[in-house]
Structure 1
């Protein structure tokens, strides 16, 4: 079932499409055929700028959790054999210290509707009964509404299109690896198995896998947003260092 058949969501999709097309038309005289891609980048930057407070909240929460690590380990030592008691005591500790264990999810959850709208715009040939003008735009020969998987299956597109996708995927992989190495998550004292460490490391690269199958516009959003996340979190880690909290 297509959720955008629901009238309020259909109206939201139409408004987002009109706004993005208007921004693209505004940029076209200055940047020509790359206007659509630049519009997506500007939207991404705007969304991330609005979410800066959520990023700050995430950094503060990580610092607070690092400060609480010794007490969390003590709770695990005392109540490790009683999972329900351990969970209750842990939540009580977070509540008493005004720490949200879910603060780190805020930036990702807040972006989900925007990414969903962007994806919906670039997979539809028509929106509100009109031809979708955004599908006419490309980035150096790579259509904004086509995924790398589609190009590989059809075998179409100029060589520059594959270079564009390759550059985006390479950037996503580098960002993911730097995030894995430089932004280790705060541990709450619970034991972490080698398998869990491997799974956590693989999850950093999940975005690159997703980018293979979504339209180029969505992959562009993921790339810019991922680079922003890495830079922002590194800066905030310097302002709210975990070692100082510990």
Structure 2
């Protein structure tokens, strides 16, 4: 397990080299707990991604406006999937729609997420408590009967030393436990669900809506093994998404609802309408938190 962590850390070393110094620089300005530096890093990242967020919302609007055309094409060519795809792509070109634009904010946050994960587990521990890391490496090398230089990549949690604690979190570089973990999970679920609801299109199918709301529960399994500082980043980016969507809706306006289909649609037409609504709902979720993939989300 330790060897695998070292290999992965070396693979993502370029990301650590980028976000490690940024986090250290922010801490040099802010001081105090490293938790405030993580929050500041989140704000900087999300502020830089604002142009993508506006582009995402405009793309959602275009998809909504083109939905009646897409439904008509799906109904007309329901027996010819190739022709259906060609006609839909033609509509996208005519309306200057990029169906993948909704996922750009999510994709842009992946390097930050990975970089912060390994920074918290390696480089930041060295910056916060170097003495503890040096002592741990000597102990690790002796217990594993290896030269000291081979233990260089192994670190241990800082246990609240030198600003590694934040409010109710005892150690940002380590996984949370007990009441701290329960509070973090509650904050994560609350902010994730709220941000997911803010990102959803009004036409999303009830079944798809339920799935998107249940996904955060699935990711609880993963976040319990993340450093508490990474969960703090997650909660902060979800909170940003909530405020960001409120501002964007007031600036650009709400997503336009799809024009209801005419009565008497054939079964194929109803399937097409459901497919189009599902596509629009899916495209609406790219800017929120990272764990729900494009359903929320960092």
TM range (shorter): 0.7 to 0.9
Bigger Rg over Cα: 2
Instruction: Indicate the residue corresponding to 2:57 in structure 1.
Output: 59
Deviations 1:86-108 (A, max 9, x none): 22222221122111111111111
Shift of 1:218: 0.8
**How many corresponding residue pairs?**
223
Counterpart contact for 1:59–1:240, Cα < 8 Å: no
Gap change, CA 1:210 and 1:233, over 3 Å in 2: farther
1:111-126 correspondence to structure 2 within 5 Å: 111-124=109-122
Gap change, CA 1:131 and 1:18, over 3 Å in 2: farther
Instruction: Indicate the residue corresponding to 1:226 in structure 2.
Output: 238
Alpha-carbon distance in 2 for matches of 1:198, 1:60: 25
Counterpart contact for 1:66–1:186, Cα < 8 Å: no
Gap change, CA 1:12 and 1:178, over 3 Å in 2: closer
Alpha-carbon distance in 2 for matches of 1:42, 1:134: 22
Matched, 1:171 2:198: no
Shift of 1:130: 8.3
Deviations 1:97-155 (A, max 9, x none): 1111111111110011011100011122569x58979944121352111123xx35xxx
Shift of 1:201: 2.6
Unaligned runs of 5+ in 2: 128-151, 260-298
Alpha-carbon distance in 2 for matches of 1:26, 1:147: 26
Alpha-carbon distance in 1 for matches of 2:67, 2:108: 27
TM-score relative to the length of structure 2: 0.64
Alpha-carbon distance in 2 for matches of 1:71, 1:168: 44
Alpha-carbon distance in 2 for matches of 1:63, 1:117: 33
Alpha-carbon distance in 1 for matches of 2:185, 2:29: 28
Shift of 1:4: 4.0
TM-score relative to the length of structure 1: 0.76
Instruction: Indicate the residue corresponding to 1:73 in structure 2.
Output: 71
- Match of residue 143, structure 1, among 171, 176, 179: 171
Matched, 1:89 2:96: no
Counterpart contact for 2:157–2:174, Cα < 8 Å: no
- Match of residue 16, structure 2, among 10, 13, 23: 13
Alpha-carbon distance in 1 for matches of 2:10, 2:212: 36
Gap change, CA 1:91 and 1:232, over 3 Å in 2: same
Shift of 1:228: 0.8
Counterpart contact for 2:26–2:40, Cα < 8 Å: no
- Greater Cα shift, 118-127 or 228-237: 118-127
- Greater Cα shift, 95-104 or 206-215: 206-215
Counterpart contact for 1:20–1:39, Cα < 8 Å: yes
CA RMSD of aligned residues (A): 3.1
Alpha-carbon distance in 2 for matches of 1:132, 1:15: 20
Shift of 1:62: 0.7
Unaligned runs of 5+ in 1: 153-161
- SS at structure 2 position matched to 1:138: coil
